[in-house]
Structure 1
Amino acid sequence: MAIAGVGAWSCNLADNKLSWTLGIYNIFGLPIDTVPDRQLAVAMYADDSREEMERLRAHAIDRGGIFTLDAQIKRADGEIRWMRISGEMVRRAGRSPILHGLKQDVTEGKLRSQALRRMAENDALTGLANRAVYESRFLNARSSAPSFAPLGALLLFDLDGFKGINDRLGHLAGDACLRVFAERLSANFPEALLTARIGGDEFAVIVSNREPDAALNARVARFLTQLRAPIFWQQHMFTIGATSGVAAPNDPYFYDPEELFIRADAALYAAKRTPGRAGASISLK
């Protein structure tokens, strides 16, 4: 079992005394002579995993039955691992009740699963969420049950002069341009609920309502100004710009995602057609 990354455990509920097989010590990265201690083990759990484990444990103790959980831990050597916990509540006549079960190291499987999910959900060039994720998590959500709430605004960005860069310097330069834009976009909106590449040179950012409208407008304007910092690529130097369109819902908890997109898109293309524009068009509420 230890070679397979599996260990058995039990906890006497009368005194919370633990019993482990070798596999559990290996999962936690603890020496075999360590006295099993619940407080020590629980402290190694990531916060979310710890809360869920304690909830399932309490439910099993209260109502009986079994539970299963994939939990993230930080081993004694600092390495982050995943383990799958299965547990069962057992009450025996004349003896203390116990929780017992198995723990299995599932880190490699988790990493493979996460890699496959990133490939399916992320744009390969920029690393941002792709259009499929944008549509499934936002655009196609029902107004009665939106995915993002409270929602502050939908921001759309379209690069200026992107075709010219492709035509003059080639598609590799265009790719470099898109990557730099994505990096700058993520850096300027680090707390965004979702940042996605939704087209060739089109991007969307969804933000919460923590920031007042005026502050958001100012931040978008600053981003568009800072965006013009030069890009160096294979002995070439060029700049990129962008136009934005922003739409905010009247109610951050109940809104029509498609209607927001239509408004933001209209604001963006109105700005594109505006002579002497500053590169941003804001349509709030």
Structure 2
Amino acid sequence: MYSELIARGTTGDIAAGAATSLEQFHRIQDLFDKTFRVSRVGIWVCTLPDEKLTWTDTVFDLFDLDPQSPLRRSDIVALYTPGSREALGKLRSAAIADGQGFTLDAEIVTGKGRTRWIRITAIVERVDGIATRLFGMKQDITAEKMMFEQVRYAAEVDPLTELASRAKFDSVFSDIYAGRDPLSYGLLLIDLDGFKAVNDRLGHQAGDQCLAMAGQRLLKALPQARLIARLGGDEFAVLYPCETTEALRGAGHRIVEALEYWWGRGSDKLKLTASVGAALIDRDIAAKDVFSQADKALYRVKAEGKGGLQMASEIDITNAA
């Protein structure tokens, strides 16, 4: 009799323990589901070779699709932007062929037409060396990308003129010398003559507006420029694609013409001009030396009365002031 009671009690304890374990499992599963939803992370699976997709609800949310809608991989791939679609195709093919997986930040246009960035992580499952399944996570990183873009914009764009910043100029100038851009370029350095009088007589707000106007005139005059930057104050720089001194000279004259204008009203109207120094970029000469050549040509113009262009190749750089 005692043995029966013990047996019944043990069986009951086991059943109760199993129920408790199952309840805990469901609680943990629910916690994971809620955490993934808050984090905007979803799980995806793609079997091979039939390419059948299975998604958790969060992935459907990321793509703005109804969880009850059919999943066809060709339809989903079409929601990626061209660049992301190409990158995904290459990484996926390589992973299936012989890779262990990949991570990709991809841009999509959702089923509701919204642009979104997702981070895809993929793992390859193999049987006897053959890829049979891809699975991983997709996470919404749109806010992260927007923050990064804001930081990048602040670093690379001059807030006053919306031209490139000095940091961006230095970066592109270095890229040209590193061979990451195979084209030939010329460097033009520009000082806005008469700008100090604008600040002194019309105030700094008028000066800021004057600089913004100068930036717009430069953009309009040189639409083919690789980069137009404000280096600081009333100083600008242009990296212009060209192979000959004559082509660079033509760009310089367009700058001089574009930056000859009046600013202000009535008796406070002031005339501005531009002094420009130009040098062809020779990759056999150090970047700092090419910059110095253009800078010395610029100051030759200023020393001789301002408002004009001087080619570095037409002066004796070694004796230039």
The farther-off stretch of 64-73 and 117-126 is: 117-126
Structure-2 change in CA distance of 1:163 and 1:22 (3 Å): same
Match of 2:303 in 1: 273
What is the CA RMSD across the aligned residues, in angstroms? 3.0
> Residue 71 of structure 1 aligns with which residue?
106
TM-score by length of 1: 0.84
**Structure that is richer in helix per residue:** 2
What is the 5 A alignment of 1:137-156?
Answer: 137-138=172-173, 145-146=178-179, 148-156=181-189
Partner of 1:122: 157
Residue 50 of structure 1 corresponds to 85
| 1: CA distance, partners of 2:131 / 2:170 | 53
Sequence identity (%): 38
Cα separation, 2, equivalents of 1:231 and 1:262: 31
Query: How far did 1:136 drift?
Result: 4.6
The residue identity in structure 2 corresponding to 1:176 is Q
Code of the residue aligned with 1:158 in structure 2: it is D
**Whole-angstrom distance in 2 between the partners of 1:97 and 1:270:** 71
The number of residues matched between the two structures is 279
3-state secondary structure, aligned to 2:44: strand
1:137-216 alignment to 2 at 5 Å?
137-138=172-173, 145-146=178-179, 148-209=181-242, 213-216=245-248
1:222 aligns with 2:251: no
Q: How far apart are the structure 2 equivalents of 1:241 and 1:80?
A: 44
Paired letter, 1:39: S
The alignment partner of 1:240 has SS state of strand
In structure 1, what is the equivalent of residue 170 of structure 2? 135
Q: Structure 1: how far apart are the matches of 2:100 and 2:108?
A: 24
Report the counterpart of residue 62 of structure 1 in structure 2: 97
CA deviation map 1:16-54 (0-9, x unaligned): 222222222222223333322222222222232222222
Gaps of 5+ in 2: 1-35, 315-321
Deviations 1:67-96 (A, max 9, x none): 111111222333221111100111135997
- Between stretches 127-136 and 103-112, larger displacement belongs to 127-136
Summarize deviations over 1:107-139 as a string: whole Å, max 9, x none: 011111211222233323223332233335436
1:256 aligns with 2:291: no
Q: 1:283 to 1:17 in 2, by over 3 A?
A: farther
Q: Distance in 1 between matches of 2:44 and 2:234?
A: 54
TM-score, normalising length: structure 2: 0.75
**Paired residues of 1:149 and 1:208 also in contact (CA < 8 A):** no
Q: Structure 1 stretch 5-14 or stretch 79-88: which is displaced more?
A: 5-14
In structure 2, relative to structure 1, the CA distance for the partners of 1:120 and 1:250 (3 Å cut) is: closer
Q: Greater relative contact order (Cα 8 A, min sep 6): structure 1 or 2?
A: 1
Name the larger-Rg structure: 2
Q: Is residue 282 of structure 1 aligned with residue 311 of structure 2?
A: yes
Contact 1:8 1:103 in 2 (8 A): yes
